[in-house]
Amino acid sequence: MQRIVKTILRAFDINNPRVASSAEEAIQALRAMPADIAIIDLDMAPVDGNELIRQLRTEESSPTPYIQIIVLTALAEKTDVTTARDKGMNEFILKPLSPMMLYKAIERIIKQPRPFVRIESYVGPCRRRKYDDPKEDQRAEDDISFIPEDTFPWNRRN
């Protein structure tokens, strides 16, 4: 699967995509050279993909807490999707993978970015639905801390 994803990314003109075989290797690679997007399988060992997402989002030593995370997995139960969402993933792709599915996920991340939030129990892309009537919103504004957009490397102006 790593070779297939790497081949697809190269076809998208993404130069030199890096591959990691474990959560520890992924974190080390991100420390050495940060990335904008990570594609993570939930079925990993010894640490699963959800734990890697949690480490990237919440560990103080995380090299890239605001990285865009695409989950690519064969685990299709509703609990798999909601757990990955609750850990802070951006996009979810179910195997088998097609190049168009990956392209669309990357395109959504780039063209429709969601602001990142930090609350007591969650760090990641905002999961709020937009309502026309603010009274329908489930949480009070002061419960959420939005992360400034210039924090993200893809929003910095040189």
Q: Are 65 and 37 in contact (CB under 8 A)?
A: no
Bridge partners of residue 70, in order along the sequence:
39, 91
Q: Are 63 and 33 in contact (CB under 8 A)?
A: no
Residue 102's pLDDT is 96
Q: Which amino acid is at 62?
A: S
CA atoms within 13 A on the CB side of 111: 6
Is residue 15 over pLDDT 90? no
Cα 140 to Cα 39, 43, 148: the distances in Å are: 32, 36, 19
Does domain 2-114 match CATH 3.30.465.10?
Answer: no
Choose between 24 and 132: higher pLDDT: 24
pLDDT confidence bin for 158, thresholds 50/70/90: very low
- Measured at the alpha carbon of residue 77, what is the angle toward residues 48 and 103, in degrees to the nearest 5? 75
Bridge partners of residue 40, in order along the sequence:
71
Q: What contacts 95, CB < 8 A, 6 or more positions away?
A: 1, 72, 73, 74
Alpha-carbon distance of 8 to 140, in angstroms, equals: 42
Read off the tokens for 94.
Answer: 């179910």
pLDDT confidence bin for 7, thresholds 50/70/90: very high
Which percentage of the chain shows pLDDT scores above 70?
A: 80
Residue 118's pLDDT is 86
Is residue 133 over pLDDT 70? no
Residue 120's pLDDT is 81
Q: How many CB atoms lie within 10 A of CB 74?
A: 13
Residue 93's pLDDT is 95
pLDDT confidence bin for 103, thresholds 50/70/90: very high
Q: Which amino acid is at 35?
A: A
Residue 16's pLDDT is 86
pLDDT confidence bin for 137, thresholds 50/70/90: very low
pLDDT confidence bin for 119, thresholds 50/70/90: confident
pLDDT tens track for 39-65: 999 999 999 999 999 999 999 899 999
Domain range list for the chain: 2-114
